[in-house]
């Protein structure tokens, strides 16, 4: 790798929805010598799903799918912009789209991104979650999300396609993309209680605007099983893909052990 003074190990580009305030909060907690993060925001046209549902008369789930359709159109420009920073890896700081359509949809989506970035390494929420669960040897999982039911159904389908036994998916649906960041710690803890059980090997949290890095490491000790925030899974996947294998203490078992 070329010898950049402040980023001689990795320059990781991160695509972030314009409405998202959770990804950068989590990234700011991961500081390593020779590593820099380079966010690139893309415009979210349909940010308030509840208002759009009332305005259009369409079902909330339909509006959420329309939100994703609009999102897809914005990605190429955001990717173009961050590539100009000569990044060495690209990480997606959004997760719903990466689960959409199950495993086939995930592969098609990742292929569309890879076509634009060429041989550059790519981290997606779905792929990072998959690899993290495999590293823990988990077979039976539960998931919490900030999505409406249609989002939960696609998450369930993706993990089921991979061969995981999905014991439960618990949504904490919010009225808008920005409101996801307003989900409180008690709401997260209630959701975890709902999906946990003796037959659950690990719990995944989807939705990048929902930051759980401050509570999941403690809850892992409480429940005695891996709890994996999607943002931390993406950070772990991107770092390891760049050859940065430093153990990071205090941000959960994934970054400590693997």
Rounded to an integer, what distance in angstroms lies between the CA atom of residue 88 and that of residue 181? Answer: 29
* Residue 3 covered by a domain: no
Q: What is the DSSP string of 110-144?
A: HHHHHHHHTTSEEE-HHHHHHHHHHHHT--EEEEE
Confidence label for 166 from pLDDT (cuts 50, 70 and 90): very high
Tell me the mean pLDDT in the region 138-144. 98
pTM, two decimals, is: 0.96
Tell me the mean pLDDT in the region 87-100. 96
- Domain range for 201 is 10-257
> Quick one: what percent of the chain has pLDDT higher than 90?
96
* Residue 127 covered by a domain: yes
State both tokens at 104: 């086939």
Q: How many C-beta atoms lie closer than 10 Å to residue 64's C-beta? A: 23
Tell me the mean pLDDT in the region 117-128. 98
Quick one: how far is CA 144 from the chain centroid?
12
The whole-number pLDDT of residue 190 equals 97
Q: What are phi and psi of 45, to 5 degrees?
A: -80, -40
* Residue 144 covered by a domain: yes
* Residue 46 covered by a domain: yes
Are 221 and 254 in contact by the 8 Å Cβ rule? The answer is no
Rounded to an integer, what distance in angstroms lies between the CA atom of residue 106 and that of residue 34? Answer: 31
The whole-number pLDDT of residue 5 equals 79
Q: What is the DSSP string of 176-245?
A: BTGGGGG--HHHHHHHHHHH--TT--EEEE--TTS--TTTHHHHHHHHTS-EEEHHHHHHHHHHHHTT--
* Residue 78 covered by a domain: yes
The whole-number pLDDT of residue 2 equals 55
Rounded to an integer, what distance in angstroms lies between the CA atom of residue 69 and that of residue 178? Answer: 18
Query: How does pLDDT run across 25-78, given as a tens digit for each residue?
Result: 999 999 999 999 999 999 999 999 989 999 999 998 999 999 999 999 999 999
Confidence label for 3 from pLDDT (cuts 50, 70 and 90): low
Quick one: how far is CA 47 from the chain centroid?
18
Are 244 and 11 in contact by the 8 Å Cβ rule? The answer is no
How many domains would you assign to the chain?
Answer: 1
* Residue 2 covered by a domain: no
Q: Which CATH number belongs to the domain containing residue 103 in this structure?
A: 3.40.50.12500
* Residue 133 covered by a domain: yes
Tell me the mean pLDDT in the region 138-151. 96
Query: How does pLDDT run across 174-191, given as a tens digit for each residue?
Result: 999 999 999 999 999 999
Tell me the mean pLDDT in the region 122-136. 98
* Residue 1 covered by a domain: no
Q: 253: closest CA among 231, 234, 227?
A: 227
């Amino acid at each position: 790798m070329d010898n950049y003074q402040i980023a001689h190990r990795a320059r990781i580009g991160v695509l972030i929805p314009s409405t998202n305030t959770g990804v950068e909060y989590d990234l700011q907690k991961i500081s390593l010598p020779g590593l820099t993060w380079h966010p690139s925001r893309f415009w979210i046209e349909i940010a308030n799903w509840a208002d759009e549902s009332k305005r259009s008369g369409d079902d909330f789930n339909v509006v959420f799918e329309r939100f994703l359709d609009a999102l897809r159109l914005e990605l190429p420009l955001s990717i173009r912009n961050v590539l100009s920073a000569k990044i060495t890896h690209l990480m997606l700081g959004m997760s719903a789209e990466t689960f959409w359509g199950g495993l086939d949809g995930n592969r098609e989506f990742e292929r569309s991104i890879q076509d634009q970035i060429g041989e550059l390494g790519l981290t997606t929420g779905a792929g990072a979650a998959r690899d993290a669960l495999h590293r823990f040897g988990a077979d039976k999982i539960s998931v919490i999300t900030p999505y409406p039911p249609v989002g939960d159904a696609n998450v369930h389908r993706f993990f089921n396609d991979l061969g995981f036994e999905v014991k439960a998916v618990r949504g904490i649906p919010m009225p808008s993309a920005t409101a996801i960041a307003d989900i409180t710690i008690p709401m997260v803890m209630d959701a975890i209680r709902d999906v946990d059980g003796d037959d659950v090997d690990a719990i995944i949290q989807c939705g990048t605007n929902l930051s759980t890095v401050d509570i999941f490491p403690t809850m892992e000790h409480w429940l005695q099983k891996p709890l994996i925030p999607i943002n931390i899974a993406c950070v772990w996947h991107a770092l390891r893909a760049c050859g940065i294998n430093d153990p990071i203490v205090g941000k959960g078992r994934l970054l400590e052990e693997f």
